[in-house]
Structure 1
Amino acid sequence: MSGVPSQPGEPVTDVAQLAEHLERGSRPPEQWRIGTEHEKFVHHLEDFSPVPYAGERGIGAFLEGLVRFGWQPVHEDGRVIALKREGGASVSLEPGGQVELSGAQLETLHEACVEVREHLQQVDTVARELQIGFSGFGFHPVWRREQIPWMPKARYGVMGRYMPKVGHLGLDMMLRTCTVQVNLDFSSEADMVRKFRVGLALQPIATALFANSPFTNGQPNGYLSYRSRVWEDTDPDRCGMLDFVFESGMGFERYVDYVLDVPMYFVYRDGQYIDCAGESFRDFMAGRLPQLPGERPTLSDWDDHLTTLFPEVRLKQFLEMRGADGGPWRGLCALPALWTGLLYDDAALAAAEALIRDWSVEEMRALRHEVPRTALHTPFRETTVGALAREVLTIASDGLRNRQRLDQRGRDERRHLERLWEIVDAGRTPAEDLLSAYHGRWGGSLDPIFTEYAY
């Protein structure tokens, strides 16, 4: 959500250019890379309250503290709102002060896990100086919406004004959720479609495995992944399952047709965000955008618009897997391992396709709706999501074994799935472990969550 805006270029004169732009993301398999992203909440150590942007111990000071590690600051209206460095990695802010690492495009999961670990070490160094802490959950377990300070990013002002018009929980999504996701490549339009379909169908399995948001406002909320529930009532125009992906004729042009009909948020011009919330990108293509009459979009505008869509799988010049709750650091390595194993080996991808081949769109939508509440215990046909998760992990494990990417100790990438095997073998999600602690040793208090589950 929090990307650094693009700069304008040449105007787009034909819709075909938009599909061609997506297709230019195609890469041969030897150039496929793995990009891991994760978000985390920030709190004061003394009272576990949210940290505002301003002040000696604020989010702004935290970002400035990270500059010593080779990050370059990105400013908006004189304030540091992101960091970037050579190689493509960035650190940015979500609306409620969640700090996001968008990792570099790396060749192996071993490299991705090292990147995450080094980032968390840098975060810990600066956090200790400022006496603030970081934790990862799908939905904040304690803070109320009105407690959370907004970050000073203009695009969030546009989104914050628009969200209440299209759903009930959009502001909660912006202010109180965290995720971990992975960005993966495709080799062609056909390869993109195969991966998109598998990704959408199996996204509820990932949601179940990473379910880690059972509390709201300090109390159990009746869900294991409340974050996933929040997305169901955020904005139906830009969220959820995409039925058309499973129809014949799916390809880059079909996805462009969908994106063109998603209402806009903004256009970025001369360092400013122009509020265009609810307007049509098709009208923009025709020079009929009321805020910029006669002007037509650039590919940079198109890229910015693509970042304002939030389906379970999102297509840009790569595919983003978006269904998992944020959580402890081992999960930050496991999520990219799951999808890399499934999608980056042809035999594994074929096995995943065979698993979902006769699933109907209605079944997949029902699974997406039920999993946030019951996760691995969700019934599906004659089995459960837990049993399906075991099959999916087996396929992913085979895919990682076939990749044969070894670390310095000669271990392949399957080791990054160990946390998920623990969850499947125990039949207990991270959310259920949290609930057990809450009802048991924590005695109905959530204060210990900020120490036991801190990064």
Structure 2
Amino acid sequence: MARDTSDTTPLTTRAALIDWFAAGEKPRARFAIGTEHEKIPFHTATCEPVPYAGDRGIRALLDGLARETGWEPIWDVGNVIGLTAPEGGAISIEPGGQFELSGAPLPDVHATARELAEHLAATRRVADGLGIGFLDLGMSPKWTQGETPVMPKSRYRIMAGYMPKVGSLGLDMMLRTATVQVNLDFSSEADMARKMRASLALQPVATALFANSPFTDGRPNGFLSRRSEIWRDTDADRTGMLPGAFEPGFGYEAYVDWLLDVPMYFVKRGDTYHDVSGASFRDLMAGKLAQMPGAYATVSDWANHASTVFPEVRLKRFLEMRGADVGDAGMIAAQAAFWVGLLYDDAALDAALDLVSGWGGTEREALRATVPRLGLAASVAGRNLGGVAAEALAIARSGLVARARRDEHGRDETLHLQPLEAIVAAGRTHAEDRLADYDGPWRRSVDPAFTDCTFR
């Protein structure tokens, strides 16, 4: 998240919390696509991580990009922690220096691909002069957690203190992983619920298709998507497959009740983040928060709290797909194409729901548990996941054909599914290709990843 919300309107009722989500509804004609991706920076001369400070650090990169793009700096206690664009996009930094583009809401996948190309070109123009490159892997392959720099961002200090209390891998998640996320709209509560169920059930399919984090601490880690596995031991209160989404009557109210049960991280007043980790949002609404007596909840507090839960699909005023490792530029656009094709056409959404209709909670949880290690070789409800992925891609293709959004060359959005279709045809993920490189031309070293697995 590039920056926290600032809205001091009081929130005094549960109905107001529900209405906050309902306000995200849009007519179909205004549906947009927001794509976010993280990339891990390194110094090209040494293959070492990039600290915040210094002439060749993250701050220098942000300052250079501000000059390059004209985007405005985002400040946190005297530190520039991101940039914001007038048209709605933003750049932010994750806890370990992962450099994130939060794209503007755009009308089609072609526009997403153009936005990405422009961002990467601008970033290269600045980063090349600083000797900085960017990995296109879902986890840093070499540096230990202790060797990874920590960014000076207030909310991350609070999260870092809380994470070890609720799981063993939260700090790895914060400091060493990188993802790509797609944000999509809904038109009504019923539309949200249908899209939530389809995308939650199929999120492990995306995890398999985008698996790209097979190395940790300089060697294979035993997983195709170690990033995805890390999330399984981060914080059970705020992660996972949201089983309640599959219960009859699921909607905004049920999500609000789940979110109210998730402990808070912080309350922000002015520029100050108050550590209230473990506290109840209900107590804040009642003015009974032990750490901040007399403080009452505002719209900002609710929006910020909604941004600190991390299920595989997250509801804010849009739906956020969270199951994929980052990959190269083609894979980032493919992530958008996959979910747009499945969710933005009614017939495709019906077909996606039919595809997963026979999966119960046990099957969904078992798939979520096995796919980080097995990828497309996993199975669900007696079916090989590679076959399920092929069917899901065919549905996504049909949805994109029905949308008929064409680029300047007359091509529709199915163009951007090609990297995923190649993976399914080969039956091999990018992680498996990288593992073959490690055992072959890389000579059992991850150092070549800093040449072969980079954004160009």
Give the corresponding residue for 2:433. 433
Matching of residues 359-398 of structure 1 within 5 Å: 359-398=359-398
Matching of residues 5-404 of structure 1 within 5 Å: 5-67=4-66, 68-404=68-404
- In the TM superposition, what is the alpha-carbon distance from 1:383 to its structure 2 partner? 2.3
Cα distance per residue 1:239-259 (max 9 Å; x no partner)? 111100000120101100000
Contact 1:25 1:186 in 2 (8 A): yes
Cα distance per residue 1:340-389 (max 9 Å; x no partner)? 00000000000001111121011000000000000001122332111100
- Structure 2: how far apart are the matches of 1:179 and 1:219? 20
- In the TM superposition, what is the alpha-carbon distance from 1:135 to its structure 2 partner? 1.1
Contact 1:401 1:412 in 2 (8 A): yes
- In the TM superposition, what is the alpha-carbon distance from 1:70 to its structure 2 partner? 2.1
Whether 1:442 aligns to 2:439 is no
- Structure 1: how far apart are the matches of 2:447 and 2:161? 32
Contact 1:210 1:429 in 2 (8 A): yes
Cα distance per residue 1:314-360 (max 9 Å; x no partner)? 00000000000011111110001000000000000000011111210
AA partner of residue 56 (structure 1) = D
State the identity as a percent: 54
- Structure 1: how far apart are the matches of 2:382 and 2:304? 43
Flag as ranges the 4+ runs of structure 1 deviating above 6 A.
none
CA RMSD, 1 decimal: 0.8
- Structure 1: how far apart are the matches of 2:90 and 2:347? 33
AA partner of residue 21 (structure 2) = L
SS in 1 for 2:100: strand
Contact 1:3 1:307 in 2 (8 A): no
SS in 1 for 2:444: coil
Contact 1:141 1:218 in 2 (8 A): yes
AA partner of residue 220 (structure 2) = P
Gaps of 5+ in 1: none
Cα distance per residue 1:241-281 (max 9 Å; x no partner)? 11000001201011000000100000111201000000000
Contact 2:2 2:102 in 1 (8 A): no
- Structure 1: how far apart are the matches of 2:132 and 2:448? 15
SS in 1 for 2:284: helix
Contact 1:144 1:217 in 2 (8 A): yes
Stretch moving more, 389-398 or 240-249: 240-249
- Structure 1: how far apart are the matches of 2:12 and 2:247? 28
SS in 1 for 2:454: coil
Cα distance per residue 1:95-154 (max 9 Å; x no partner)? 000000000000010001100111011111111110111112111111100001110001
TM-score (norm 2): 0.99
SS in 2 for 1:323: strand
SS in 2 for 1:397: helix
SS in 2 for 1:81: strand
Gaps of 5+ in 2: none
- Structure 2: how far apart are the matches of 1:13 and 1:229? 38
SS in 2 for 1:145: coil
- In the TM superposition, what is the alpha-carbon distance from 1:7 to its structure 2 partner? 1.7
AA partner of residue 12 (structure 1) = L
